[in-house]
Chain A
Amino acid sequence: MADNTLQNNKANQTLGEMLAERGVSRRSFLKFASYTASIMALPATAATAIADGLAKARRQSVIWLSFQECTGCTESITRASSPSIEDLIFDFISLDYHHTLQNASGHAAEAAREQAMEENKGEYLVVVDGSIPLANPGYSTIAGISNRQMFEDTVAHAKAIIAVGSCATFGGIPAANPNPTGAVAVSELTDKPVINISGCPPIPEAMTGTIAYLLSFADIPELDHLGRPKAFFGEAIHDRCYRRPFYEKGMFAKSFDDEGARQGWCLYEVGCKGPVTYNACATLKWNGGVSFPIQSGHGCLGCSEPGFWDLGGFYKPLSTAKDDALKYAAGAAVAGAAIGAASAVAVRSKRDKVMKAAAAAAATPAEETK
Chain B
Amino acid sequence: MELLEFARGPALTFAITVFIAGIFFRIASLVFMWRSKDSSQGSRRERPVVIAALKEIARRMWPLSAYKERTLFTLINGYVFHIGLAIIVFLLLPHILFFQDLTGLYWGHLPNNVIYAVSIVTLISLIAALVMRMSNPAQRIISTFDDYFSWFVTFLPVLTGIIATTHLGARYETLLALHILSVALLLVYLPFGKLMHFFLVFVTRSQTGAHLNHRGAQL
Interface centre among A236, A337, A339 (most CB of B within 10 A): A337
Interface residues of A (CB under 8 A from B): 236, 238-239, 247-250, 252, 268-269, 275-276, 278, 305-307, 310-312, 316-329, 331-341, 343-345, 347-348, 351
Cα distance, A345 to B28, chains bound together (Å): 10
> Given A318-B176, A323-B9, A351-B34: A337 and B4 within 8 A (CB)?
no
- Secondary structure type dominating chain A contacts: helix
Q: Does B39 contact A (CB under 8 A)?
A: no
Contact, CB under 8 Å: B24 / A333: yes
Interface residues of B (CB under 8 A from A): 1-2, 4-5, 8-10, 12-13, 16-18, 20-34, 93-95, 97-98, 100-102, 109-114, 167, 171-173, 176
Contact, CB under 8 Å: A268 / B8: no
- Contact for A320 among B2, B20, B98, B110, CB less than 8 A: B98
B27 to chain A: which residues have CB within 8 Å? 337, 340
**Pairs A-B, 6 closest by C-beta atoms:** A340-B28, A336-B24, A319-B94, A344-B32, A336-B21, A250-B111
A320 to chain B: which residues have CB within 8 Å? 8, 97-98, 100-102
Closest to A252 in B: B93
How many residue-residue contacts, CB under 8 A, span A and B?
A: 146
Contact, CB under 8 Å: B24 / A340: yes
- Contact for A340 among B25, B94, B101, CB less than 8 A: B25
Contact, CB under 8 Å: B101 / A332: no
B110 to chain A: which residues have CB within 8 Å? 250
B8 to chain A: which residues have CB within 8 Å? 312, 320-323
B34 to chain A: which residues have CB within 8 Å? 344, 347-348, 351
Cα distance, A320 to B106, chains bound together (Å): 13
What are 9 inter-chain pairs, A to B, with CB distance below 8 A?
A236-B171, A269-B97, A307-B1, A316-B101, A321-B16, A332-B21, A333-B21, A333-B23, A343-B29
Contact, CB under 8 Å: A332 / B24: yes
> Given A268-B93, A344-B33: A250 and B109 within 8 A (CB)?
yes
- Contact for A238 among B111, B113, B172, CB less than 8 A: B172
Cα distance, A87 to B26, chains bound together (Å): 69
A317 to chain B: which residues have CB within 8 Å? 94, 97-98, 101
Contact, CB under 8 Å: B9 / A337: no
Contact, CB under 8 Å: A341 / B9: no
Cα distance, A337 to B109, chains bound together (Å): 34
> Given A250-B109, A318-B176, A345-B32: A336 and B13 within 8 A (CB)?
no
Nearest chain A CB to B106's CB is how many angstroms away? 9
Nearest chain B CB to A326's CB is how many angstroms away? 6
Closest to A239 in B: B167
Nearest chain B CB to A260's CB is how many angstroms away? 12
